[in-house]
Amino acid sequence: MEIPTSDNEWDWDDLFNLFNAVEYLHRLAIVHGDIRPENIQVHEDFLHVKLTDFDVSRLELPRATSRTVAKGYAALELLSSNEGASITQKTEIWALGVLLYICLCGFPPFSGDLKTEEFPYGMDEQIRQGRFNYPSPHWDSISGPALDLIDSMLVVNPEQRFAIGQCLSYPWVLTGRLLNQDDEAGGVLSGIAGIDL
């Protein structure tokens, strides 16, 4: 993945384009299967976001299974011991929610590194219970509507989780898209620059 070198290489259009790419795939009943920072590139000439690595993408079929999702981006239904778990459009919304969280603060919502005496949950338990928070000072400058969108994407029950159309029509996304605002963490996707790959 080509990592952006400055905050101004990412903007609201990048977020909107990434969500649009996923919406296009979902409209065709295709699931990418591995949405994570390593599979997002910035086209050098045009500074557009590209979703890459379609090795595990496929038509969304009830019996099509996959276990290739990186653990930090896997929704609860993929952590199940049930071998029949499959990647669906809703599991991809979870992965996009994790990615959005990272983009806004620079670190993931779920991590084994977060386990302490006060927070005795490993990564699997955090995901299974939907345990994440917005620690200060990293989230102090992020607006409530951005947090609400993440909360709607990282819902443990896939039936209650947003679909991509709801993400695209969410006021925080639309406002940023229409006004091309750059007030959320210096560019909505700038957090990718700090991720160790």
Residues with catalytic function: 34
User: What are the angstrom distances between the C-alpha of 132 and each of 140, 172, 182, 185?
Assistant: 16, 21, 25, 19
User: H or E stretch including 16?
Assistant: helix 12-27
Burial class (CB in 10 A: 0-12, 13-18, 19+), 176: buried
User: What are the angstrom distances between the C-alpha of 92 and each of 87, 103, 120, 143, 163?
Assistant: 7, 16, 27, 24, 9
CA distance 64 to 177: 35
Q: Which of 179, 141, 187, 180 is nearest to 6 (CA)?
A: 187
Phi, psi of 50 (to 5 degrees): -125, 130
Tracing tokens 């590139």 back to the chain, one arrives at: 41
Q: Is 37 helix (H, G, I), strand (E, B) or coil?
A: helix
